Amino acid sequence: MITSSSLPPALSPDDTPVERISGDPACGLLILCDHASNALPSAYGTLGLPPGELDRHIGYDIGVRALTHALARAFGAPAVLSTYSRLLIDPNRGEDDPTLIMRLSDGAVVPGNARHDARERAHRLATYHAPYHGAIATAIDAALAAGRPPAILSIHSYTPVWKGVPRPWHAGILWDQDPRFAVPLREALAADPGLVVGDNEPYDGALRNDCMYRHGTARGLAHALLEVRQDLIGDAAGVDAWAARLTPVIRQVLDATPDLHAIRHFGSRTD
């Protein structure tokens, strides 16, 4: 069984803005994790926040790094993960997105972002954002060179309560126009009577220039963004349980979807 106990120590963005997991580029799957870490480069301290704030969902997606590692091992798949907090700069946003560097997040003012200027924005883009997306592009190119366009799976998690309202879904599948991976993945998960699975819940999958748009939609690759509720993967036991649940479901979809590895352009609702 794949367990989370062998998860390697987290990298710091002082070491590299990207964590790469080696895998077979011809396996047909590439796993991404945009919000894997709540670490910050030493020069930024805590961005002026009390340390406990970075441990909340505003700092990162709780549980996703361990889940990404477990799934990558299960499939022998390459994976690319961020090593810095989304509060430094959000790799799941386009360069011109107003939420790229958050000044306020779920009620918390981020002092280190409050007065950032164009020069600081450009520095963070070049130093942290661009290398992450460059690593993803390199992994995709390696898969194409190996002769098998990959299906892309992006792993996220979400807080179980938002603005006082409980969220009923155990997981959600986010997608835009390309149904090849997202729809069968959602249907396979929803076949479990013990799960409540959202379709583009708790968010909408159509976001111009986000990670899936940039590397999936624009390149014609099948893709899906999987959100798991954070209380379900907040410890090693939860991660192991969800890795065991997801592995056969993902494998079923990969094996049963004939055009998953074709390059096809569907466009986007944001175009």
Strand partners, 30: 152
Would you call 211 helix, strand, or coil by DSSP?
helix
Q: Between the CA of residue 28 and those of 112, 167, 224, what are the distances in Å?
A: 40, 33, 14
As a whole number of angstroms, the distance between CA 149 and CA 81 comes to 20
pLDDT band at 68 (very low <50, low <70, confident <90, very high): very high
- 82 or 106: which leads in pLDDT: 82
The fold for domain 12-256 equals Aminopeptidase (3.40.630)
As a whole number of angstroms, the distance between CA 163 and CA 53 comes to 16
What's the pLDDT score for residue 163? 67
Shortest CA distance to 6 belongs to which of 64, 66, 78? Answer: 66
Residue positions counted in the chain: 271
Q: Domain ranges in the chain?
A: 12-256
Percent of the chain at pLDDT > 90 equals 83
Most confident of 38-47, 97-106, 199-208: 38-47
pLDDT, tens digit, for every residue of 2-14? 445 568 889 899 9
Q: Which two tokens stand for residue 187?
A: 């249907």
pLDDT band at 108 (very low <50, low <70, confident <90, very high): confident
Q: What are the residues whose beta carbons fall under 8 Å from the beta carbon of 47, sequence distance 6 or more? A: 40, 85, 87, 88, 110, 111, 112, 113
CA 206 to chain centre: 15
Q: Is 64 exposed, middle or buried (0-12, 13-18, 19+ CB in 10 A)?
A: buried
What's the mean pLDDT in 98-117?
A: 90
Element (H or E) spanning 98, and its range?
A: none
What's the mean pLDDT in 131-156?
A: 98
Q: What is the mean pLDDT of the chain?
A: 93
What's the mean pLDDT in 136-147?
A: 98
Q: Is 115 exposed, middle or buried (0-12, 13-18, 19+ CB in 10 A)?
A: exposed
Would you call 223 helix, strand, or coil by DSSP?
strand
156 close to 207: Cβ distance less than 8 angstroms: no
Q: Supply the Cα-derived Rg of the chain in whole angstroms.
A: 18
- 2 or 188: which leads in pLDDT: 188
pLDDT, tens digit, for every residue of 257-266? 989 999 999 9
What's the pLDDT score for residue 205? 62
Cα–Cα–Cα angle for 90, 93, 94, nearest 5°? 130
Dihedral sign of CA atoms 151, 154, 160, 162 in order: negative
Of 25-29, 61-65, 105-109, 157-161, which gets the smallest average pLDDT? 105-109
pLDDT, tens digit, for every residue of 198-255? 999 877 767 778 999 999 999 999 999 999 999 999 999 999 999 999 999 999 999 9
pLDDT band at 1 (very low <50, low <70, confident <90, very high): very low
pLDDT band at 267 (very low <50, low <70, confident <90, very high): confident
Q: Which two tokens stand for residue 85?
A: 């907090």
pLDDT band at 22 (very low <50, low <70, confident <90, very high): very high
115 close to 67: Cβ distance less than 8 angstroms: no
As a whole number of angstroms, the distance between CA 57 and CA 116 comes to 22
